[in-house]
Amino acid sequence: MNLMLSRLLAYLYIGLQVALHTFIYPCHLHPQPCHILARIGHTVRLGALLPTRQPSRIQAALNRALVHLRQSGNNFLPYNLSLEVLSREPLNGDPESMFRCVCQDIVVRGVSAVLAFPQTHEELVQVEFMSSFLEIPFISIIEQGEPLRTQNRFHLQMTTHVPPSGLAQLLLAVLVKGGWQGGTAVFCPSRGETAILEQLQHQGRLGVDGAHWHLWETLNLFHQNRAVASPEEEEQEGGLEEVTELLSQLLSRSPSSLASNVLLFGSDPECVAKVLQGAVRLGLTLPLARWTMGFPLSLDALHSIGSPLGLLAYGEVNRKPLNFYIRDSLQLIGRAVFAATMVRPDLALIQNMVNCFDKPNKHEVPSSGQYLARFLSNTSFEGLTGHMQVQQSHSRILTSHRFHVWSLQRDALGQPSWVTVGSWQAGQLEVEEQGLWPTASQQVEDESPGIQPGGRWQAGLPVAGSRLRVVTLVEHPFVFTREVDDDGQCPAGQLCLDPHTNSSDVLDQMFNELEQTNSSSLPTDVRKCCYGYCIDLLEKLAEDLLFDFDLYIVGDGKYGARKGGRWTGLVGDLLSGTADMAVTSFSINTARSKVMDFTSPFFSTSLGILVRSKDTAAPIGAFMWPLHWSMWVGIFVALHLTALFLTLYEWNSPFGMTPHGRNRVRVFSYSSALNLCYAILFGRTVASKTPKCWTGRFLMNLWAIFCLLVLSSYTANLAAVMVGEKTFEEVSGIHDAKLHHPSMGFRFGTVRESSAEDYMKKSFPEMHEYMRRFNKPTTPDGIATLKTDPAQLDAFIMDKALLDYEVSIDADCKLLTIGKPFAIEGYGIGLPPNSPLTRNVSEYVSRYKSDGYMDMLHDKWYKVVPCGKRVFAVTETLQMGIQHFSGLFVLLCVGVTGALLTLLGEHAFYRFILPHLRHWQRFQYWLHTSQKIHRALNMSCDEESKLEAVGTSRSCDIHRLPPADLHTSLPPPSSSTSSSCSTSTSSTKWNNESTMVGREPKDGSHKRVHFNLETLNSYRLQAPPTGPDRSRRGLVGSPPTQLCANGGPSLGLSLVLSPPACSSGSTSLWEAELQELQGRIEEFRGKLRAALARRAELQRILEKERRGQAEGQRRSFPDTIPTSSTTSTAVAKDINRR
Q: What is the pLDDT of residues 51-77, one digit of tens each?
A: 988 889 999 999 999 888 888 877 778
Distance of CA 334 to the CA centre of its chain: 58
Rounded to an integer, the average pLDDT of 206-229 is 68
pLDDT higher than 60, residue 868:
no
Q: Is residue 782 situated within a structural domain?
A: no
pLDDT at 964: 40
pLDDT of residue 553: 92
pLDDT tens digits for range 926-949: 766 666 677 677 765 555 555 544
**DSSP sequence for 454-517:** TSB--TTS-STT-EEEEEE--BTTTBEEEE--TTS--SSSEEEE--S---HHHHHHHHHHHHSS
State the pLDDT confidence band at 539, using cuts at 50, 70 and 90.
very high
- Is residue 880 in a domain? no
Considering the domain architecture, whether residues 1091 and 991 belong to the same structural domain is answered as: no
Q: Is residue 933 part of a domain?
A: no
Q: Write the pLDDT tens digit of every residue in 87-96.
A: 999 988 888 8
What is the band of 128 on the pLDDT scale with cuts at 50, 70, 90?
Answer: very high
Determine phi and psi for 528, rounding to 5 degrees. Answer: -130, 165
Q: Is the confidence at residue 984, as pLDDT, over 60?
A: no
CA pair distance 423, 402, nearest whole angstrom: 7
| Strand, coil or helix: 819 | strand
Question: How far does CA 616 lie from the centroid of its chain?
Answer: 39
755 is in an annotated binding site: yes
Weakest-pLDDT range from 114-128, 584-598, 728-742 = 728-742
> What is the CATH number for 520?
3.40.190.10
903, part of any domain: no
Yes or no: say if 123 and 93 are a contact pair by the CB < 8 Å rule: yes
pLDDT of res. 1035:
38
Last residue of a domain, one of 680, 700, 724: 724
Residue 449 pLDDT level (bands cut at 50, 70, 90)? very low
* 1094 marked as binding residue: no
pLDDT in tens, 1109-1124: 888 777 765 554 444 4
238 has pLDDT over 60:
no
Question: Does 968 reside within a domain?
Answer: yes
- Does residue 206 form part of some domain? no
- Say if residue 492 is in the same domain as residue 584: yes
Same domain as 276, residue 413: yes
Worst-scoring range by mean pLDDT, 263-272, 479-488, 588-597, 820-829? 263-272
How many angstroms separate the CA atoms of 912 and 927, rounded? 20
CA gap 615, 618 in Å, rounded: 9
Residues 300 and 428 occupy one common structural domain: yes
Nearest to 137 by CA among 347, 451, 298, 429: 347
* Whether residue 260 sits in one domain with residue 273: yes
The span from the CA of 806 to the CA of 196, in Å, is 51
**Are residue 346 and residue 479 in the same domain, yes or no?**
no
pTM of this prediction exceeds 0.95: no
Give alpha helix (H) positions in 792-885.
800-808, 837-851, 853-862
Q: Supply the pLDDT for residue 1124.
A: 41
Name the pairing type of β-strands 113-116 and 138-142: parallel
**Looking at the structure, do residues 457 and 420 belong to the same domain, yes or no?**
no
Question: Cβ atoms within 10 A of the Cβ of 534, count?
Answer: 28
In angstroms, rounded to a whole number, what is the distance separating the alpha carbons of residues 1121 and 1109? 14
Beta bridge partners of 217: 184
> Could you report the per-residue pLDDT of 989-1036, keeping only the tens digit for each?
333 333 343 444 444 444 343 434 343 333 333 444 444 444 443 333
Q: How confident is the model at residue 544 (pLDDT cuts 50, 70, 90)?
A: confident
Do 293 and 415 fall into the same domain? Answer: yes
DSSP 413: T
What type of residue sits at position 650?
E
The predicted structure's pLDDT at residue 560? 86
Length of the chain in terms of residues written: 1138
Which distant-in-sequence residues (6+ apart) come within 8 Å of 973 by Cβ? 942, 946, 981, 1040, 1060, 1062
Per DSSP, the chain holds a count of helices (H) and strands (E) of: 39, 30
Give the pLDDT confidence score for residue 191 in this predicted structure. 59
Q: Provide the pLDDT for residue 1065.
A: 56
If asked whether residues 510 and 530 sit together in one domain, one would say: yes
Specify the DSSP element, H or E, that contains 679.
helix 670-682
Same domain, 299 and 347: no
> Residue 324 and residue 330: Cα distance in Å, rounded?
10
Residue 990: the pLDDT is 36
Cβ atoms of 272 and 171 closer than 8 Å: no
pLDDT confidence of residue 879: 55
Under the banding of pLDDT at 50, 70 and 90, the label for residue 597 is: very high
**Mean pLDDT confidence for 491-496:** 86
Question: Residue 695: which CATH number?
Answer: 1.10.287
Please check if 592 is assigned to a binding site.
Answer: yes
Same domain? For 1029 and 1094 the reply is no
DSSP 8-state secondary structure symbol assigned to residue 833: T
Instruction: Say if 766 falls within a structural domain.
Output: no
Domain that holds residue 1121: 1080-1137
CATH of the domain at 111: 3.40.50.2300
DSSP state of 958: G
Q: Flag whether 132 is marked binding.
A: no
CA distance 861 to 532: 7
CA dihedral 1107→1113→1118→1119, nearest 10 degrees, is -90
Q: How far apart are CA 648 and CA 696, in angstroms?
A: 9
Query: How far apart are alpha carbons 641 and 658 in whole angstroms?
Result: 20
Q: What is the pLDDT of residue 59?
A: 92
Q: How far apart are the first and last CA of the chain?
A: 128
* Distance (Å, whole) CA 911 – CA 898: 20
Q: Answer whether residue 226 shows pLDDT above 60.
A: no
Could you tell me if residue 201 is inside a domain? no
Number of domains in the chain: 6
Average per-residue pLDDT for the chain: 75
976 plus 1060 within the same structural domain? yes
Residue 534 has pLDDT above 90, yes or no: yes
